[in-house]
Each structure stands twice: as structure tokens, then as C-alpha cells.
Amino acid sequence: MRADPTRIDRLVSTYLDHLTVERGLAANTLLSYRRDLRRYAEHLAGVGVQTVADVGEGNVSAFLAALREGSEEHPPLSASSAARAVVAVRGMHRFAVREGLVSDDVSRNVHPPAAAKRLPKSIPLEDVERLLDAAVREETPLALRDRVLLELLYGTGARISEAVGLAVDDLDRSAGTALLRGKGGKQRIVPVGSYAVRAVEQYLVRARPSLVAAGRGSHMLLLNARGGPLTRQSAWAILRTVAARAGLPETISPHTLRHSFATHLLDGGADVRVVQELLGHASVATTQLYTMVTVDRLREVYATAHPRALG
């Protein structure tokens, strides 16, 4: 006898087959969906729901709550993991409607939980200075280039792709500005500090000519040992190497310097709208995450310095 296609266990299998064959999802994604949907089927079976026609919006909402609360069998899920599970469940219910198994999508008003906003990580100015000093222990062409890379990342707040994408002509050293090409092809002109300008000038005079000579000629600013453009992967490796030399954590990334750039500006009194422009954020809401960091720091200072902060 043919299995009832509206049964939850049968629907889970059919939907997973659909994702595998017609959607071509990655193996890891399919594994997560399979785990999430089987947990959903167990949850429904536990309350006596056997077919998709018997599922109500309250069942879907209750499943989301169960994911967040956890149980003896399952630990509570984070907001991001619960969101992934809800996305899988909603996808299956939409599939059931398209296949004509039910007429109504009872999951459409159940929204995944919003992931908690992660505060950007920054490092203190003294750690930035240690990092920059560690870039040039020996004044070789590659060491001078490494110093330029790090000075630009911290001095302009550039993304790693924007830094390695700089051409020589994108830097106006007399004006102290750089033309950055950001996401979606958007361009912005940002100030370049005197420390970074001096590092660039030293590199252009004492290092880049020998690097260019090793290759076929390039208009890009940052070059590798073979005279070709520096890649994002190589820039990451440079930062990790220099950070280890400076005794700083391996978790430091190009974004750490970008975050430090923004946080230190705000700590120094810069307006959040100005920092938004410098970072190339489309929305000021993204930049305002950094103000949360500085407020936490102000709160710490207040708590330790004000005579009536603590009772």
C-alpha cells in the first residue's frame, strides 16, 4: 500500500529528496536540514500530530519555543541555530502547499528568532602600535610592504579587499587621501594619516621597484615577491605572521583593525555619521554597533571613577 504523502515522516523524506535532487543543496546543509526536520517530526508526534493537515500555527510556534528552551533529549539552541531550523520547517510547509498536500501554509507567520548582535572586537591602541612596529623588524622590501598593508588597514578602516585592491594612482599622497572601491562597486575617498603616508612613500621608493622588477609590471600598490598583486589570502597570512611576532592573539583579523579604527575614532569624539562614511556602511545602524562598545567602556570608567557610582 502506498504511504500517505501527508504524513509528517513521509513529507520530511519527500522534501529532503526534493532539496537533494532539484535544489542541489550542499551536503552539510542537507545534514542540518535532516536533523532539524526529524526533530520537528518528533515534536509533532509528541503532541499527537501525524499529518501535515493537522499542523496549526501554534504547533510551529511551540516547536520554535522548544528549540530555544531545550529538553532532556536536546540542549537549547542558539538564536542562529533555531533560525536555521525554523527556515527548514517553513520551507517544508511551503513545499507541502506547492505539492497540493494542504491549501494553507501555517508557518508563514512564524518568524525565525533574530540573532543577537555581536559587538565588534577591537584591540587597544598600544596593541595596534605593537603590531605595526612588528611589521618592520628588518627593512626588506616585503617588510616595508607589510607595514604599508597594516598601516592602511588601521589608518583608513579599509576592508581587506579594498586594501589589496588599491592601485598606486588611488593614493593622493599630497592630499592624504585614498580612493577605496567597496561593496557593490561603490567608491569612497577617505583620509590617510601621516604615518600611513610615510610608510607608503618609503615603500614606493625603497621596496616596490624591486618587487615590480620581479614580475611583468603592475599598477597595483601592494605586490607579492613575484611582482604580482597581493591577494586577500596572502594579506591574511601576513597579518597572522606579524601578529604572532608581536605576541598578539591569533584571532586578530583584518576586520579587527577595521573595528579598532572605528572604535578609536568614536572614543576620540568622532561623530557616528562621519565614521559611517569612512567605513562605507550603507546604514548608520551598522556603525552604531561600535557606539555600544564605547558606551560599555564609558560605563566601566564611570563605575570605577565616580564617587557615587557604586553604593
The verdict on whether 290 is a catalytic residue reads yes
3-state secondary structure of 109: coil
| Residue recorded with cell 540573532 | 115
The verdict on whether 159 is a catalytic residue reads yes
**Active-site position among 7, 121, 173, 255:** 255
**Active-site position among 39, 90, 159, 208:** 159
The verdict on whether 111 is a catalytic residue reads no
**Active-site position among 39, 90, 181, 281:** 281
∠157-162-167 over CA atoms, to 5°? 120
The verdict on whether 18 is a catalytic residue reads no
Strand partners, 220: 167
| Residue recorded with cell 550542499 | 26
3-state secondary structure of 204: helix
Q: Phi first, then psi: give them for residue 246, nearest 5 degrees.
A: -85, -5
Query: Smallest Cα–Cα separation from 258: which of 234, 239, 230, 237?
Result: 239
The verdict on whether 183 is a catalytic residue reads yes
**Active-site position among 39, 258, 259, 264:** 258
Name the grid cell of 113. Answer: 528568532
List of E strands, 147-293: 171-172, 177-181, 187-191
Strand partners, 7: 51
The verdict on whether 108 is a catalytic residue reads no
Strand partners, 177: 172, 191
Q: Phi first, then psi: give them for residue 29, nearest 5 degrees.
A: -65, -45
d(CA 270, CA 266): 5
**Active-site position among 183, 206, 273, 299:** 183
Q: How far apart are the first and last CA of the chain?
A: 75
d(CA 55, CA 90): 12
What residues are labeled active site? 159, 183, 255, 258, 281, 290
